[in-house]
Amino acid sequence: MRRRPEQGSTLLLFPAAVLIMVALAAMTVDSAIGFLAQRQLVDATAAAANDAATAALSDRSFYEGGRLELSAAAVEAIAVGRVFDLVDRGRHHGLIVDAEAVPPAGAGCPWAVRVTASSRVDELFGRAMPGSRGQVAVHASSTASPRLTAGGC
């Protein structure tokens, strides 16, 4: 009985297929790590914006003039502190947080608080991949402002 020349070719292709599957699995894990870190940063900036929008209201402007105003210094301090409290600093490297009180666009418009943050997160398998720096950059931005019931800006 004669042997066909194709016999044994599967044996050569199987290790290549396994290598490709392992590389794809590693990329999936690194993508999931980056996505989780980005979601954590989004949640932290949203919480910080909400906390700063309520805690940084100026009592003086309300009681003296009946106006709702935000203290820019208080917004910065509260929001930045809140993001640093909520984010896992063992995972996020080089965390940069910026918070600002956005003044009303016109009469009857509300104040808003905008919080942005960015950091770098280590990849688990990325360091072993050629061309990878081993870290991925994540960014998040959140804005908190009162919802207007009638009219709008």
Task: Please state the domain extents for the chain.
Answer: 9-144
Q: Per-residue pLDDT tens for 15-60? A: 889 999 998 998 899 999 999 999 999 999 999 999 998 888 777 7
Tell me the chain's radius of gyration from C-alpha atoms.
25
Task: Tell me, yes or no, if the pTM score tops 0.75.
Answer: yes
